[in-house]
């Protein structure tokens, strides 16, 4: 009697655990839904990506749409996670705060990994190598970084270019730094003769000077940087998924195809 009672108890608990195990497996695998592996985003079914769409070829506006390398990467990641990508276009220096606060799930904005930013967010694996470049007016006496000493230099507020020229430890010794909310405004100011040079990332510098008579991008790269995707420190699961997807996109050529579409050689 006792023995059979024990047996039925064991049987019952086996069934119970079996059922739980089975249910667990069902939700953990098999489909491509966004919530697999415990993935949670700020809005159900969405991947909200924060950017500053003034940074061609990485993100810029075509009509109302934000397009570019980062837009395509964000779309690809969202699709692979079974989520809908939704862009939040904002000031560059608002991107990290919005990822920290959870207003956005990721920041993807030609954003360089820096120690300071790593205090606030995690970064994915890197997807682009970049560097700062100098834009000057044609015929300028500025031929390289050493000629920036004593000059008025324009940058985009809160960028690596900003800290590079602002930080006296780099020895650039500019007379002053003019901070703009968008790089094209800095270039306009240069054309208008209000500033002497602009320091911004090399590919956007190329785009902003191509076909513009008054200005030229100098060859020299001032820094060596890696772009990556900023993710909240609270969302390790999302970071892991993004790194897996980036790894796949690197391996199958998808990432290179996106870069080739926008980067001129």
Should residue 209 be labelled a site residue for ligand GLN when binding is judged by CB under 6 A? no
User: Closest CB to ligand GLN among 35 and 126?
Assistant: 126
Interface region with ligand GLN, contact rule CB under 6 A, candidates 1-9, 21-29, 107-115, 229-237: 107-115
Helix runs in the chain, H state only: 2-28, 69-80, 95-101, 115-118, 160-166, 183-191, 202-209, 236-251, 254-262
**Helix, strand or coil for residue 17?**
helix
User: Closest CB to ligand GLN among 122 and 159?
Assistant: 159
**Count residues contacting ligand GLN (CB under 6 A)?**
11
Binders of ligand GLN among residues 229 to 258 (CB under 6 A) are none
Closest separation between CB of residue 68 and ligand GLN, Å? 11
Should residue 202 be labelled a site residue for ligand GLN when binding is judged by CB under 6 A? no
Interface region with ligand GLN, contact rule CB under 6 A, candidates 34-42, 104-112, 190-198, 242-250: 104-112
C-alpha span between 153 and 96 (Å, rounded): 25
Should residue 110 be labelled a site residue for ligand GLN when binding is judged by CB under 6 A? yes
Cβ(186)–Cβ(132) below 8 Å: no
Cβ(131)–Cβ(225) below 8 Å: yes
Q: Which of 41, 98, 122, 156 binds ligand GLN (CB under 6 A)?
A: 156
Should residue 160 be labelled a site residue for ligand GLN when binding is judged by CB under 6 A? yes
Interface region with ligand GLN, contact rule CB under 6 A, candidates 12-20, 109-117, 171-179, 233-241: 109-117
Binders of ligand GLN among residues 116 to 145 (CB under 6 A) are none
How are beta strands 176-180 and 121-123 bridged, if at all?
Answer: unpaired
Should residue 60 be labelled a site residue for ligand GLN when binding is judged by CB under 6 A? no
Residue of minimal Cβ distance to ligand GLN? 159
Should residue 201 be labelled a site residue for ligand GLN when binding is judged by CB under 6 A? yes
Report the run of H or E that residue 180 belongs to, with start and end: strand 176-180
Report the run of H or E that residue 201 belongs to, with start and end: strand 197-201
Closest CA to 101 of 120, 81, 80, 82: 120
User: Closest CB to ligand GLN among 66 and 83?
Assistant: 66
CA dihedral 111, 112, 118, 121 (to 10 degrees): 10
Report the run of H or E that residue 123 belongs to, with start and end: strand 121-123
Should residue 112 be labelled a site residue for ligand GLN when binding is judged by CB under 6 A? yes
Helix runs in 121-235, H state only: 160-166, 183-191, 202-209
Site residues for ligand GLN per CB under 6 A: 52, 55, 92, 109-112, 156, 159-160, 201
């Amino acid at each position: 009697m006792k023995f059979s009672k024990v047996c039925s108890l064991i049987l019952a608990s086996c069934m119970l655990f079996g059922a739980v195990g089975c249910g667990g497996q069902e939700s953990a695998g098999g489909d491509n839904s966004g919530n697999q592996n415990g993935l949670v985003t700020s809005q159900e079914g969405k991947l909200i990506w924060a950017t500053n769409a003034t940074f061609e070829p990485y993100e810029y506006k075509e009509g109302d749409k934000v397009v570019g390398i980062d837009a395509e990467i964000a779309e690809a990641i969202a699709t692979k996670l079974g989520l809908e990508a939704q862009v939040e276009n904002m000031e560059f220096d608002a991107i990290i705060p919005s990822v920290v606060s959870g207003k956005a799930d990721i920041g993807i904005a030609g954003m360089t990994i820096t120690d300071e930013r790593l205090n606030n967010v995690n970064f994915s694996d890197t997807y682009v190598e970049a560097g700062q470049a100098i834009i000057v007016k044609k015929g300028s006496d500025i031929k390289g970084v050493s000629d920036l000493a004593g000059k008025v230099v324009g940058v985009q507020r809160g960028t690596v270019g900003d800290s590079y020229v602002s930080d006296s430890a780099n020895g650039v010794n500019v007379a002053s730094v003019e901070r703009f909310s968008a790089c094209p405004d800095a270039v306009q100011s240069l054309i208008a003769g209000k500033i002497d040079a602009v320091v911004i990332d090399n590919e956007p510098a190329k785009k902003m000077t191509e076909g513009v008579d008054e200005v030229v991008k100098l060859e020299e790269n001032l820094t060596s940087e890696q772009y990556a995707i900023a993710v909240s420190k609270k969302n390790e699961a999302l970071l892991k998924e993004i790194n897996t997807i980036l790894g796949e996109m690197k391996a199958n050529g998808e990432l290179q195809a996106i870069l080739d579409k926008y980067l001129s050689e």
